[in-house]
């Protein structure tokens, strides 16, 4: 049984998370620069089977695409071409960065460490993936 990979695609960095082999819970994987994400995913897939990508899709409160939506759409197209055997699902990512930041506060992360945007991106990917896992229990 393959894992599910959660992806929080940003302008500079991409937060990645993966499910456990039973697809019950999400854990942070890595934050990588945008230009390195495809190579990172290829290397990961060589050691761990991935059966689905869940990509956060940015939307405004009125459900219209947010500023980064065209970049995310282009990335999804690239992902589908690069990994044609792995389906891609879009997930609403509204508030994930705020939720990630709050989770860091609630978890007792020091103020200095909360400034690390790479950590916020990883936690955002976990939130995107965990919501998907909870809403799509098999």
What's the CATH number where 101 sits?
A: 3.30.420.140
Residue 1 reports pLDDT greater than 80: no
Residue 66 reports pLDDT greater than 80: no
Distance CA 66, CA 59 (A): 5
Asked if residue 92 lies in contact with residue 57, where contact means CB atoms within 8 angstroms, the answer is: yes
Q: pLDDT, tens digit, for every residue of 6-42?
A: 999 988 999 999 999 999 999 999 999 999 999 999 9
Which pLDDT score, from 0 to 100, does residue 72 have? 92
| Region of residue 111 (left: phi > 0; alpha: psi -120 to 50; beta: else) | alpha
Which pLDDT score, from 0 to 100, does residue 107 have? 61
Average pLDDT over residues 82-107: 74
Domain total in the chain = 1
Distance CA 129, CA 90 (A): 10
Asked if residue 88 lies in contact with residue 79, where contact means CB atoms within 8 angstroms, the answer is: yes
The parent domain of residue 67 ranges over 3-135
């Amino acid at each position: 049984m393959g894992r599910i990979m959660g992806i929080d695609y940003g302008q500079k960095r991409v937060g990645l998370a993966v499910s456990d082999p039973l697809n019950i819970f999400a854990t942070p994987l890595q934050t990588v620069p945008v230009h390195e994400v495809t190579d990172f995913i290829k290397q990961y897939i060589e050691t761990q089977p991935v059966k689905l990508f869940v990509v956060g899709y940015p939307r405004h409160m009125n459900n219209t695409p947010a500023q980064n939506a065209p970049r995310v759409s282009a990335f999804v197209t690239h992902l589908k071409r690069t990994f044609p055997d792995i389906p891609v699902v879009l997930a609403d990512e509204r508030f994930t960065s705020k939720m990630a930041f709050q989770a860091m506060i609630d978890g007792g992360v020091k103020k200095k460490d909360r400034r690390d945007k790479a950590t916020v991106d990883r936690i955002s990917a976990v939130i995107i993936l965990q919501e998907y896992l909870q809403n799509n229990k098999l």
